[in-house]
Structure 1
Amino acid sequence: MAQPGQTLRFRDRHGAWAEAAVTGCHDDPSQPAPPLRSCLLTLTYADGTRHEVRHVGMSDEEPGIGYGELDNEILAGLRLSRLCGPGPYPPQVSRLIGYEADGERPFLLLEPCRGKPVGSILGRILPSEKFLFQTSLLTGLRWISAAGIAHRAISPETVYWDSVNAQITGFAEAALAGTPRTVAGAPPWWAPEQRPGNVSGMVSSEDDVWAAGRLIFYVTTGHEPDRADLTGEDPDLARLLAGIFGPPAGRPPVRELLSRINVADPVPRGLSPDAALERGRAGFLTLRAAKHPETAGPAVPEPAEPAAAAEPTTSQRRRGWRRRR
């Protein structure tokens, strides 16, 4: 991990190179899931500006492990940044500050998490805050869906709460919508189609809808998610979660869930297609399959909408960004 006195050179979320000195290093209470590790850094730029960031990299105890997870985090951050454009960045999702994907020890820089994991403060969320939690969680999920990705690991550990907004973090298992599903998430929060022995079909935003519904139920009622059939005790909750726990094809999209609680769609536009990036991605996949046939995997169908296309990072040319199990 980075140390005080070190100079970090990285690309910002727009792709431009930046450089800053590490002038402080602290423990990060919001540690990502293994094999990734993180610490809080104070970066000082040439103009004297200081910025505290989360430095996320691979564990020193397991060198070489975690490339795929870092690639997932970087690509998710880039697609969300591209979707937001010059407008305000949504506080409901973690924000990418920069990344370095080609060095011996690749890393990414994120804004520090806000609040605490939902799992650590359950029972301390006030009744008046529960609607805010539902609204902000679904708002964050809508931004993720519009960016053409699925988080695939929504849980009390990856969702934070600061009394105003839920913030979705931890994109290490994210995947492009329209790619073949793999095992992802953790019990009891993973959707049925993400579980070992039951994986089928293509990744979609409805995979996250299932997990988000479980989490909303958990925070609203205090019950474990295996009691999700008790939504009838709360008519408003039952109306919001209707259809969420069925098969993926029958689950309501995030926009419909927002409309059920009278919240307007927060995303002003979809992710604009880029023909050059589409051609680059197709060429990259062809070259990778020729050089490393074992990485080809099943054929990836054409995305149903522009948001499902991805721009490969430099590190993808070596590894591919989907996590392999």
Structure 2
Amino acid sequence: MNEWGERPEAVRTSGNAPQDGAARNGGRPARDRAELAFFTDEGTPARLPAVCWDELPAGQQRHPLRARPMTLGEDWRVMQYRLAHTARGDHRARDRLEAEVGVGLAVRRAFGDAPYHQLFARFGGYHLDVREPFVFYEPARGRPLAALAGRATVKEQERIRSELVLAVRLLEAIDVVHRGLTPHTVRWDGRHVRLPEPCLATRAGHPREALGEAPWAAPEQRAGHGTADPRDDLWSVAQVMYHLVTGREGDPDGPPRDLARLPALGVLSSAFAPTARERNHPAEVLRMLNRQDPLQGRPLPADPLDPGRRAFDDELARKRAALGLDGDPVAETGPGRAPGRGLRALFGAGRTGMGGRR
């Protein structure tokens, strides 16, 4: 049996409204009907009729972005995250949105044809050159891992552990550190995990920002010391697995005291180390799990869409300069912000833009 065998995605169904939107709206009509222009993950300009539903409750928003379910065309249900025009002066939010789009494109470009694309949030489309720039995703299946805390079977624990480490290894291959892995954001549908949207992602080697909550974010990440490392995500995987196995939160600064009594976590023991340099690399942990590294001896192929991305990068840079979004004085960046963390800063020239591969 193919463990990565496809099964129908529950995202294109009949009806006019997303299930969550319909339930929340109590059958009331959509708030707005319009036509949405966007770019697909392949860089193709598209335009579809859009039914916009009420925004999510305040507790489910990604401040300062605004989240709302939408139905595109006949029945394509998506979740849109947009930067409201009232927040256009928030350059940090704009940079993060650009970085999120860059990661979404990079993941789709590298792994869109691979069976393990199911591990990642399903990137749908975006548009950055509009009054309210946005990105949208297809809805995630399953439920947060927190719902299984202390109740997951041994088989489920093993599968979740293996897929989380694999996902971190794949992100490492494209120089991405996710920084958003918690039991409340990672989902499980009974067959596969799915990582959340990469709204906090950065490039490996970039200066860390003070970001994240204990115990899920590594100590160095919370403090904003050093540079981002894929092993930051391994810390998060270890803490998520500890919570899944025990139902408790782990030590925010190092290994839990009962680690030796938890055989399911033995292979992750180094991931609880307080500094990244003390942790094993993702590929090493995969080997310890007796999982083949899918990238071993198989470098990622050259991207035929690079010329188009370079043209997009140039145009994006021109528009950012015209809007005064480049060259922000360091004195105005505020605490925790590193300047220039958008698409170009995240991936460098020639690795971003309107591209992707299914």
Q: TM-score range by the shorter chain?
A: 0.7 to 0.9
Deviations 1:49-84 (A, max 9, x none): 531111112368866553233223211101101112
Out of 180-189 and 289-298, give the one that drifted further.
289-298
- CA distance in 2: counterparts of 1:223 and 1:290, whole angstroms: 44
- CA distance in 1: counterparts of 2:228 and 2:37, whole angstroms: 34
Alignment match, 2:299: 269
Report if the CA contact (8 A) 1:243-1:251 is conserved.
Answer: yes
Matched, 1:35 2:35: no
Q: CA deviation at 1:272?
A: 4.1
- 1:169-188 matches, within 5 Å, as 169-188=196-215
C-alpha RMSD of the superposition:
3.6
- CA distance in 2: counterparts of 1:208 and 1:202, whole angstroms: 13
Report if the CA contact (8 A) 1:147-1:308 is conserved.
Answer: no
Report if the CA contact (8 A) 1:41-1:55 is conserved.
Answer: yes
Residue 193 of structure 1 aligns to a residue whose secondary structure is: helix
Matched, 1:259 2:294: no
Alignment match, 2:267: 239
Report if the CA contact (8 A) 1:73-1:171 is conserved.
Answer: yes
Residue 90 of structure 1 aligns to a residue whose secondary structure is: helix
Matched, 1:161 2:188: yes
Out of 101-110 and 248-257, give the one that drifted further.
248-257
Q: CA deviation at 1:11?
A: 0.2
Report if the CA contact (8 A) 2:175-2:203 is conserved.
Answer: yes
- CA distance in 1: counterparts of 2:292 and 2:193, whole angstroms: 17
- CA distance in 1: counterparts of 2:267 and 2:115, whole angstroms: 31
Deviations 1:301-321 (A, max 9, x none): xxxxxx96463559xxxxxxx
Deviations 1:17-63 (A, max 9, x none): 0111124636669945322232222211xxxx531111112368866
The one-letter amino acid paired with 1:263 is: R
Residue 6 of structure 1 aligns to a residue whose secondary structure is: strand
Alignment match, 1:212: 237
Alignment match, 1:119: 146
Q: TM-score, normalised by structure 2?
A: 0.72
User: Structure 1 57/294 Cα, relative in aligned 2: closer, same or farther at 3 Å?
Assistant: same
The one-letter amino acid paired with 1:75 is: G
User: Structure 1 26/280 Cα, relative in aligned 2: closer, same or farther at 3 Å?
Assistant: closer
Residue 133 of structure 1 aligns to a residue whose secondary structure is: helix
User: Structure 1 260/282 Cα, relative in aligned 2: closer, same or farther at 3 Å?
Assistant: farther
Q: CA deviation at 1:206?
A: 1.1
- CA distance in 2: counterparts of 1:111 and 1:200, whole angstroms: 34
Report if the CA contact (8 A) 1:31-1:37 is conserved.
Answer: no
Report if the CA contact (8 A) 1:6-1:21 is conserved.
Answer: yes
- CA distance in 2: counterparts of 1:154 and 1:309, whole angstroms: 25
Alignment match, 1:303: none
User: Structure 1 52/299 Cα, relative in aligned 2: closer, same or farther at 3 Å?
Assistant: closer
The one-letter amino acid paired with 1:224 is: E
Alignment match, 2:20: none
Alignment match, 2:159: 132
Residue 258 of structure 1 aligns to a residue whose secondary structure is: helix
Report if the CA contact (8 A) 1:179-1:202 is conserved.
Answer: yes
Report if the CA contact (8 A) 1:153-1:184 is conserved.
Answer: no
User: Structure 1 186/76 Cα, relative in aligned 2: closer, same or farther at 3 Å?
Assistant: same
- CA distance in 2: counterparts of 1:313 and 1:242, whole angstroms: 37
The count of aligned residue pairs is: 300
Q: TM-score, normalised by structure 1?
A: 0.78
Matched, 1:294 2:329: yes
Alignment match, 2:121: 94
User: Structure 1 51/279 Cα, relative in aligned 2: closer, same or farther at 3 Å?
Assistant: closer
Q: CA deviation at 1:278?
A: 7.9
| Aligned counterpart for 2:77 among listed residues 52, 75, 83 | 52
The one-letter amino acid paired with 2:238 is: G
Residue 18 of structure 1 aligns to a residue whose secondary structure is: strand
- CA distance in 1: counterparts of 2:139 and 2:326, whole angstroms: 39
| Aligned counterpart for 2:277 among listed residues 228, 242, 249 | 249
The one-letter amino acid paired with 2:299 is: R
- CA distance in 2: counterparts of 1:247 and 1:192, whole angstroms: 7
Q: CA deviation at 1:221?
A: 2.2
Report if the CA contact (8 A) 2:55-2:66 is conserved.
Answer: no
User: Structure 1 18/89 Cα, relative in aligned 2: closer, same or farther at 3 Å?
Assistant: farther
Out of 101-110 and 264-273, give the one that drifted further.
264-273
Unaligned runs of 5+ in 2: 1-29
Q: CA deviation at 1:85?
A: 4.8
Q: CA deviation at 1:165?
A: 1.4
Alignment match, 1:83: 110
